[in-house]
Amino acid sequence: MKTSNIILISIIGFIVLIGGCTCSKYNSLVKADENVNLKWGNVQSDYQRRADLIPNLVSTVKGVADFEKSTLTAVIEARAQATQMKVDASNLTPEKLKQFQAAQGQLGSALGRLMVISENYPQLKANENFRDLQAQLEGTENRIKVARNDFNQAVQEFNSSIRTFPNNILSGMFGFHVRIYFESEPSADKAPEVKF
């Protein structure tokens, strides 16, 4: 064999080897990116579950008690605002995430006030539908927490993947960028004040 053929075969072999590694790395980045998208979808799904339970809760409360209208109105308005806020996982900017969290926080706060005020209505607390809905809401809040934690775990894995060598070179070439975490609201470090 001629020396030029050996060099040509070596160059082709090197290109194939590098190309295979590049494809493998790219595919792993795509999978990690899609995992983040999936986990964000799960977060939104659990928030939607909470929003879907609210009309039933409000109807039950209205039917059982002569309830404070301002509290029910606040819950209904917060639900409307929260369900209008849509955030695409691939375009999850800090500003959009803060807006999403603020809308969900208002809804959570309104629901919290509804539950606290419901303590003053024994006939409401004794209503089986209300108890069932309250239990479903509690379960949904737990699901939301788990979904947010899963999302943050997926973001951590993705961010670690795109920031390590040699993925950091490929991620820049193929447009993969660091994703942001779901963070607590600024007031979350203070214990809520409950007054009866």
pLDDT tops 80 at residue 151 = yes
For residues 109 and 124, what is the distance between their CA atoms, to the nearest angstrom?
Answer: 20
| Mean of the per-residue pLDDT values of the chain | 81
pLDDT at 194 (0 to 100):
42
pTM of the model: 0.71
- Of 186, 48, 56, 149, whose CA–CA distance to 107 is shortest? 48
pLDDT tops 60 at residue 68 = yes
**Torsion angle defined by CA atoms of residues 88, 145, 68 and 58, in that order, rounded to the nearest 10 degrees:** 70
In tens, the pLDDT along 134-148 reads 888 889 989 999 999
pLDDT at 31 (0 to 100):
93
For residues 45 and 51, what is the distance between their CA atoms, to the nearest angstrom?
Answer: 10
pLDDT at 192 (0 to 100):
47
Q: Detail the DSSP E strand segments found in the chain.
A: none
pLDDT at 166 (0 to 100):
83
Q: Is the dihedral of CA 109, 76, 43, 125 positive or negative?
A: positive
pLDDT tops 70 at residue 18 = no
What does the DSSP assignment read for 12-24? HHHHHHHHHHHHH
Run of H or E including 32: helix 3-64
C-alpha gyration radius of the chain: 25
Task: List helix spans (H) across 65-93.
Answer: 69-84
pLDDT tops 70 at residue 157 = yes
Q: Which of 46-50, 109-113, 185-189 has the lowest mean pLDDT?
A: 185-189
pLDDT at 133 (0 to 100):
83
- DSSP-based helix, strand, coil % in the chain, nearest 5: 80, 0, 20
